[in-house]
Structure formats: C-alpha cells, structure tokens
Structure 1
Amino acid sequence: MNTDTMRERFTRVASELLDEDPRLAVVLAVISADRFARAARAHPHRVVDVGIREQLLVGVAGGMALTGLRPIVHTFASFLVERPFEQVKLDLGHQAAEAVLVSSGASYDVASGGRTHQAPGDIALLDTLDGWTVHVPGHPDEAEALLRHAAAGTGTRVYVRLSEQSNGTARPVGPGRFQVLREGRAGVVVAVGPLLDATLEATRGTDVTVLYASTVRPFDAAGLRAAVAGTTAADVVLVEPYLAGTSVSFAADALRDVPHRVLPLGTAREELRRYGTWREHVAAHGLDAAGIRRQIDGFLARG
C-alpha cells in the first residue's frame, strides 16, 4: 500500500518527467530543493533554485517559457500565488507564457507557520486572471495523473494545488469534468478534492446527488446543470477546501436561467489566530463530516 503524500508524489514524478521530456524544467525557491537533488545533478540547466525570492521564481519561469521550455514552478501556495501575484499576472499572463504552478501547504497545512504560510484565498486570486486551469487533487494518485496531464499540455497555464489532507481512495480524474458519485433528488453537493471523504460521510443517508471535482477551473457548468435537472429543488452546496464562496459565481452562471439556492462551504474569511494542526483548522472551519452535515441539514431544511 502506497502511503506517500501528494508532495512526495509530486517531487518523485516531476523528477521522472525531467528525465523523459527535455522541454520540462523545475523552478524552486528553496522549498523542496532537497527533494530535487538528484534531478539537479542530472539536469543542472533545467532545475533552478532561485533562493528565497518568490517574485524571481515566477519571473524566471516566465523567461524559460518564452524560450520554449515548460517550467514546473513549486513552493508553498502563499509564496507561489499570493506573494508574487504581480509576476503571475504579468510575467505569465500578460506575456502569454505557459507554465505549471504546483503548490503545497494548501489553506493551512503549515498551520504552525502562522498566517504567512496560509493561503485560503489562492484560487479566488487566480480567478481574477484569464486562462488558468486549476486542479485540486484529493489523493496522491490523482495528483500524479493531473501533474502528468499538465506537464504534457501546451497552450495552457495550470495551477495544481496539493495538500496534506487526502481521501482514502483515488478517483479516476477527467480534467474539466465533475464525477457523479451518488444520486439523489433533494439537491446537489459538489465536493472538491480532499474534502470528498468528509462530504460522503456527511451526506450518508441523505437524498442528495454528490459530484466530485478534482478540476475546478474550468468549472463544469454542464455537469452541474445536468445534476440539478435531476432534483426536485435546485439547491446546490459547494464544499471547497479554500475560501468559502470561491466558486459561487461560476455555479450561479451555470444556473443563470434556473431559480436556485447555493450554500458555500469553505474556510472563513475571519483569520483563526491559532496554530494547531491542519486537522484542527478543518474542524474549526466546519469542514469535517460533522460540520458539513450540520450545515447541509440546516440549508435543506430551510428550503
């Protein structure tokens, strides 16, 4: 039984991809550099550690992309999307440069690092830009499949969001498609990435359809519409492992001609000024099975 984490799987697979594809490069800012030591010896011109300079991290990736390489750029989410956002916007987006950003740390995996290491708003921030594909795998096997898909792609800017939290079972990934895992008539629950297990437990015995999303951008509007069409009430619950409400506008757009209600579950905007563990933060934000069940029950009862 394989018990590696998403981050461990990423560094192993990315090293293998460097051996297989001369187009690829890996750009680092200290984080995980030790895990790429062998790859750096084998490919010294395609594994670059810029030091603790996150703006330079993305700038170098943009330059590599413009020379024809496909850079895989990696550090914690707060240092990959939030701190160098201007470079993400300009050196990648404005220059139409293609890259694969792979983060670890998720919303609060590194809770002991404090607020500087937390990034619940990363996807909401990327949503202000055009043309990004966003993967949120829920299992190391899914992370590997989505990374390989992203690395092989052309004409795309991709963000792969890795986390310590993981589901017990991997699901087949179909980038851009929601998977129907359970069918019901009382509403639709969309579970994103590592929150699937808690969502399935929370909805056990309830008459709802459960969709699973390991790719959230592009948003599978057709999949959501089809699921809602099979319900008696167009009630939608979004269970996301980042800022609550991040995908509400996408769901609303998908259902623009359908009277509907949406309950957004995710991390709160209010900062939790505690350290603890990521598991404790999950519970504090009501994203464990008990918290999800309580909120879904209340929402459906009010309908």
Structure 2
Amino acid sequence: MDTMRDRFIATTSRLLDEEPRTALVLAEISAAGFEQAQRRHPDRVINVGIREQLLIGAGGGIALSGMRPIMHTFASFLVERPFEQVKLDFGHQNTGGVLVSAGASYDWPAGGFTHMSPGDVALLNTLDGWTVHVPGHPDEAEALLRHAVVAGDDRVYVRLSQQSNSEARPVTGDRFLTLREGRGPAVVAVGPMLDNVLAATEGLDVSVLYATTVRPFDREAVRAAAGGRGDVVIVEPYLEGTSTTAANDALSDVPHRVLGLGVARRELRRYGTIDEHLAAHGLDPVSLRARISAFAEQGARGAHRRS
C-alpha cells in the first residue's frame, strides 16, 4: 500500500492538471516527487528551498492573487517554525490556502526532535477559521485533500502520517463516524489511532467514534455518543489534551468527564521507532486498554455511589 505522502504527491499532481487555480509551494521536501508536475506547470509549482517562512509568505501572496495555494513540508517546519507567517499572511489577511504536512508527531524518529511536531494542531487551534483534517489512511488523505483544494477558499490543514489504519473509512470532511455503540464512555479515535483504539476496546462496553476532521469539532456526535453519563475519551496522534476543551464545551450543560490521551509533553530523547514512541506515550493497544478501562471503571463506581 502506498503512504499518505505518496498519495498526496499523486493527487496534487492531478489537481494541478485539473484545476488551473491550484498552485504548489515547496521547501525542498517532496520536491523530487513533483519533478514531472513542475515541468508541466513551471509557473504553478514553486520550490523556495529551505526557507519555511518564505514558503508561507509566497503561499499567502499567491492566495491574494486569487489562486488556491498548497504549501507542503514537515509539520515542524510548516506550522511551528513559520507560525507568525501563518498567523499574519493567512489569518490577518483573511486569505485561504491548504497546508499539507509530513512527519506528524514522530514519523521520522531518526531525525530527532527538530523533525517532530506533536504540538502542531494545538498551535493552529489558537487561530480562528482553520479546518483541520487528520486522515488515517491514504484513501482518506486523497479524499480530504481534494475536498480541501476544490470545495472552498478557506484555510485548511491536512496532517499526513506514516502511520495508517488497515482500511479506509468513508470521510466527508465534517462529521465523526460511529463505529461501535455501547453504554460506557464514548471513545473518539482520531486518524491513524483508530486501529489501536479498536483493538484496545474489543469486548469493552464503549462507543467508538472515528474522527478525521477535528476542527470544526463534531459536538453533536460526541453529545449523542456520550449519552446520559457524559464520559468521553479522546485518543489523538498529537499532543494529549488538544481536543479536551472542545469536548468539554460540547458537554458544558451536562455532568461529564473527559480523558485526553495523546503524545505526552515530556520529550523522549531515545528516539527508537514509531512503535516504540507509541508504546512510550501509552498509545499502543495494551496501554490504551488499561487507561480506557480504568477511566470507565472509575465512572461506573461514581455512578453506583450516586445511585
């Protein structure tokens, strides 16, 4: 199976052929994959070199001209390093564009902490008007990228990862999917966390929701799945707690508990592999099962005492 990044290159190359408003701005990363597209569209495929602030600034200028820019590099260099340009050249100027990242939280552990970005979604969450897609499969990445480029002129972040679920789910760019229904907590699995969550919750009396678009946050789906007990677990492939405020807001009028599971704030200095990072942050199936079960049992004891 190809990776999300492979699919991004193939899909964007086709979009450059199909959509004359589409432009692509690169900062060396993935440039080799776009050599043919650059030969076909030399005026709409621009590689600015290792100049990430210029990457965003050029994309902002292209947007002001009426084009639909796609900007791409590692997440740490796309969101964190040029954050001021993201804030001003798109938010302040009220223009639209599509940020497409690679690298995710720790997709290339050998690259060290400079190439890791567990805080990217939390950082974008400080800005107004950004849609955030977190696909869990290359097919979903293609669908969400096409939706981001063609469906509007707003500001969109598409977060790609080496991690992938075993199968694609139908995604629409807005609603969470309900995959299991139970009487216990509602467990929201974000993007590539789904397979681990499904394995972790096998046989547990919980609901499982699948989220590939986390901003805007699907408040209605969470409210419906949480039911009367109002307990929610959010399993995200980035900084733990990123979406707990959104879940708390969705349930603000009912008694509830929210558990945010994700990448811990502590820095891991022995980089290892992706799977080792998952285990170290408690995001492997065994760890998730223990953490979700403890949360559910605590809620059940509290409900028993109240009754």
Global fold match (TM > 0.5): yes
Is 2:156 the partner of 1:147? no
**Which residue matches 2:120?**
122
TM-score, structure 1 normalization: 0.98
> For 1:112, which of 110, 113, 131 is the aligned residue?
110
> For 2:283, which of 281, 284, 287 is the aligned residue?
287
**Which residue matches 1:264?**
260
1:94-143: CA deviation from partner (whole Å, max 9, x where unpaired):
00111000001000001111110000000000000000000000000000
Alpha-carbon distance, 1:58 to partner: 0.1
Is 2:295 the partner of 1:299? yes
1:132-170: CA deviation from partner (whole Å, max 9, x where unpaired):
000000000000000000010223100000000000000
Q: Is the 2:223–2:230 Cα contact (8 Å) retained in structure 1?
A: no
**Which residue matches 1:218?**
216
- CA–CA distance in 2 between the matches of 1:251 and 1:299? 16
- CA–CA distance in 2 between the matches of 1:247 and 1:39? 37
Report SS of the residue matched to 1:143: helix
- CA–CA distance in 1 between the matches of 2:172 and 2:223? 18
Alpha-carbon distance, 1:213 to partner: 0.1
Correspondence 1:143-222 to 2 at 5 A: 143-222=141-220
> For 1:276, which of 272, 290, 295 is the aligned residue?
272
Letter in 2 for 1:135: H
**Which residue matches 1:37?**
35
> For 1:132, which of 130, 133, 150 is the aligned residue?
130
**Which residue matches 2:12?**
14
Is 2:237 the partner of 1:241? yes
- CA–CA distance in 1 between the matches of 2:145 and 2:76? 20
1:35-72: CA deviation from partner (whole Å, max 9, x where unpaired):
00000000001000000000000000000000011001
Alpha-carbon distance, 1:277 to partner: 1.3
Correspondence 1:39-54 to 2 at 5 A: 39-54=37-52
Alpha-carbon distance, 1:280 to partner: 1.1
Letter in 2 for 1:245: G
Q: How big is the alpha-carbon RMSD for the aligned residues of Structure 1 and Structure 2?
A: 0.7
Letter in 2 for 1:293: R
- CA–CA distance in 2 between the matches of 1:279 and 1:87? 33
Letter in 1 for 2:260: P
Unaligned runs of 5+ in 1: none
- CA–CA distance in 1 between the matches of 2:255 and 2:278? 31
1:260-291: CA deviation from partner (whole Å, max 9, x where unpaired):
01111000000001121112111111111111
Report SS of the residue matched to 1:68: coil
Shift >6 Å, 4+ stretches: none
> For 1:61, which of 59, 62, 74 is the aligned residue?
59
Moved more, 68-77 or 274-283: 274-283
Alpha-carbon distance, 1:23 to partner: 0.2
Unaligned runs of 5+ in 2: 300-307
Alpha-carbon distance, 1:226 to partner: 1.1
- CA–CA distance in 2 between the matches of 1:154 and 1:191? 26
- CA–CA distance in 1 between the matches of 2:42 and 2:244? 44
- CA–CA distance in 2 between the matches of 1:100 and 1:266? 25
* Equivalenced residues, count: 299
Report SS of the residue matched to 1:190: strand
Alpha-carbon distance, 1:297 to partner: 1.0
Percentage of pairs with the same residue: 67
**Which residue matches 2:23?**
25
Report SS of the residue matched to 2:141: helix
TM-score, structure 2 normalization: 0.96
- CA–CA distance in 2 between the matches of 1:152 and 1:126? 22
Report SS of the residue matched to 2:100: strand
